[in-house]
Chain A
Amino acid sequence: MKVPDMIVADFKSALLNIDRIKAAEIFKDIYAEDQSFESLEHLTAKSLEKIGDEWENGQVSLSQVYMSGVISEELIENYLPDDEVFYNDNIKIAIGVLQDYHGLGKKIIYSVLKAGGYKIIDFGEGLTVEEIVNKTLKNDINILLISTLMLSSALKVKNVVDILRDNNSPVKVIVGGAPFRLDNDLWQKVDADFDGKNGSRVLKILNKYTGGGQ
C-alpha cells in the first residue's frame, strides 16, 4: 500500500532528527490503519531513498543516514511477519567488507535493503579475496555487494571478479565505499557490474534486476 507523501515526510524528519519515539509512533499509526506490512516497507524504503539522495546532495550527514537505517531496521524487525513470506527468496544476495574492518557502509546498505524487502546474507568484515570468493560460490550467491574503505581494497575487487568469472559464476557484483565515491570510474576499472554509491541506488539496482522486492 502506498503511504501518503506527507507521512513519508514526517517519518523522514523523525529519522533525520534521530527521534526513535516519533518514528515508532508513525509506524504504529500506519500499521493500525491497514495492518499491512507492505505499507511499512513502502514508508521506510521511500524515506531511506530520499535520505540517501539528500546525502548525495550534501543536505544530510552520513551519521544521519546510518541512524535512519538503524531506526528503520529496528522498527521493521518488530513488525516483520513470522513467515517472512514477503521476501524475495528466489534471489540470493550477500554483502561483505573486503579487507577492511569498518562496517558502517555495509550496515547502512544492509539496513536499507532489509527495510526495502530484501533478505541479505552478511559475510562480515575483514574478508580476504579468497574468503569472499569461496563464500559466494558456496552459497550460490546471485548478487554480491562488496564494501571497501581503502583504495587498495577497492582495487582488489578486480581479483574477486576475475576468480568468480574463472569459476563461471553468474553473480552480479555491486561495489560501494569511499574509493568508488572519490573516483567515479573506479567501479568499471575493477570490472564490477554496478556502482552502488548509496543505499537508495543499490535498492534501485536490485528492484530493476529482480523486478521488485517490495
Chain B
Amino acid sequence: MNSMERVMTTINHQEPDRVPVFHLFSHYGAKEMGISIKKYFSNPDYVAKTQLHMGKKYSNDCLYTFFYAPIEIEAFGGEVIFAEDCPPNSGEPVIKSIEQIKKINPPKIQDSKCLHKVLKTTEMLKSFIGDKVPIIGVVMSPFSLPVMQLGFEKYLELLYFRKDEFEQLMKINQKFCVDWANAQLKAGAAAICYFDPLASPKIIERETYLKTGHKIAQKTISQIKGAVATHLASGIAFPVVDDIVETGSAVLGFSNEDNIEAIKERAANKICLLGNLNGVEMASLDRNKVAKKVKNIIHQAAKGGGFILSDNHGEIPYQVSEDILLEISEAVKKHGIYPIKVEK
C-alpha cells in the first residue's frame, strides 16, 4: 500500500497494511534545513523540498502544508513574531476593540501574499507526489481564530456578553475559512485539518460550545469541498466525540490526556482517531521510552483501523530530536503491522 491507500483504508475503519503515521512537521522543517524559521517560510521551494525530504527520511504518511497558526492573522493585516526555536506567534491583536468588528471584511485569498506561499507549496507538492501521499492543508476554525484576532480575554467577553458582535465576527471568519480551505483543496490538498482548540471542554464548556462553535463548525465544514479532520490541539476530546462526528469531520485529533480505550470505543466506526503522543514530553524522552509509548498506543487504538499515529498537538516541537522521530517510525513498523499482535 502507498500512504494514500493506507490512510484512506484506516479512515474507512478498515485495517490497512500497517498503522499510518503522521509526523506533523511545520517549523521543524527549518531545523531540518539548518536555516531560521523566518527564512524557511519565506520561500515555498524550501518548504516543499523539505516536506518531501522529511517524508522519506521519517517514513511519513502525509505531507503537511501548515506554515504557522498566525498566517491567517497576517492575512487579516496582523503581525507575526518569529523566534529562533518555536512556532511563530501572533503579535498585538489585529482587532483592537469589539466595536471594530463591524468594519472588518474577510481578506481575499487572491490578494494575500502569505497565503499564496502556502498555495504555491501545495501545488509543488501535488505536482511531485500526485495521489501517492495525502497533502494536508490547514485552517483555523472561525470559532477559535478570534483568540489571535482579539486576544483570549477580550474574546471571552465577546463570546459571553456581546452576542451581536460575536455573530458578526463568526460570519466574517466563516467566509474566510471556507474560501481558504477550498483554495487549498483546489491547489492539491487531499484534506483540510480544521484546528478548533476551543471545541475542547478543557477550554470552553460543552454547553456553550454546543450553542456556538459546534453550530459554526457544522455550517463551515458543510461548505468545505473535501475531507475534514478536526483537531483540538492537545485539548481533551472524549466528551465531544459525538459532537465532532456531527460536524461532518472524518478524523479527530485527540489528547494525551484522553483515555485511549474509552475514546476508541466511542469513536469506533464513526470517526478516525489521530494522536496522541505528547509532543512536549517527546522532547525529553529517550528512544526506549518513546518506543514503549508507541507500542501501547497502537495496542489500545489500532485494532479495526480508524487510527493514525501522530503527536497530539498538530505540530512537532523544534526541541524534539530526530532520533526520537526516527524511533517512532521504527516502532510503528515493528508494532503497527496488521493484524496487530497484542502481547499478553
Contacts and interface: CB of A to CB of B under 8 A. Distances in A.
Interface residues of B, number: 35
Interface in A99-156: 99-104, 107, 150-153, 155
Contact of B153 (A100, A104, A185): A104
A contact patch SS = helix
Contact of A104 (B89, B152, B160, B319): B152
Contacts of B257: 58
Nearest to B319: A151
Nearest to A105: B152
Interface stretch (A6-14, A21-29, A62-70, A197-205): A62-70
Contacts of B284: 183, 185-186, 189
A61 interface: yes
A27 B204 CA distance: 26
B106 interface: no
B278 interface: yes
B87 A58 contact: no
B280 A107 contact: no
A150 B203 contact: no
A153 B81 CA distance: 14
B contact patch SS = loop
B319 A152 contact: yes
Contacts of B281: 182-183
A179 interface: yes
A18 interface: yes
A101 B91 contact: yes
A183 B317 contact: no
Most buried by A among B87, B91, B152, B160: B152
Contacts of B159: 63
A67 B158 CA distance: 12
B85 interface: yes
A14 to B, nearest CB: 14
Contacts of A186: 280, 284
A182 B280 contact: yes
Interface in A169-214: 178-179, 182-183, 185-186, 189
A151 B283 CA distance: 9
Most buried by A among B159, B204, B280: B280
Interface in A59-112: 60-64, 66-67, 70, 99-104, 107
A61 B91 contact: no
Given A63-B204, A67-B160, A58 B236 contact: yes
A63 B201 CA distance: 9
B89 A67 contact: no
Nearest to B236: A58
B197 to A, nearest CB: 10
Contacts of B208: 61, 63
Size category of the binding interface on chain A: 20 to 34
Given A152-B318, A152-B319, A182-B280, A99 B83 contact: yes
A67 B159 CA distance: 11
Most buried by B among A18, A60, A62, A178: A62
A44 B2 CA distance: 58
Nearest to A18: B160
A61 B205 contact: yes
Interface in A9-63: 18, 58, 60-63
B194 to A, nearest CB: 20
B86 interface: yes
A117 B292 CA distance: 46
A152 B83 contact: yes
A183 B202 contact: no
B337 interface: no
A66 B153 CA distance: 8
Contacts of B87: 150
A180 B318 CA distance: 17
Interface in B125-173: 151-153, 156, 159-160
B203 to A, nearest CB: 5
B153 A103 contact: yes
Nearest to B257: A58
Given A66-B153, A101-B89, A152-B85, A61 B201 contact: yes
30 contacts: A58-B236, A61-B202, A61-B204, A62-B202, A62-B203, A62-B204, A63-B203, A63-B204, A63-B208, A66-B153, A67-B156, A70-B153, A99-B86, A101-B92, A103-B152, A107-B153, A150-B87, A150-B89, A151-B86, A151-B280, A151-B283, A151-B318, A151-B319, A153-B86, A178-B234, A178-B280, A182-B256, A183-B278, A183-B281, A186-B280
Interface of B: 81, 83-87, 89-92, 151-153, 156, 159-160, 201-205, 208, 234, 236, 256-257, 278-281, 283-284, 317-319
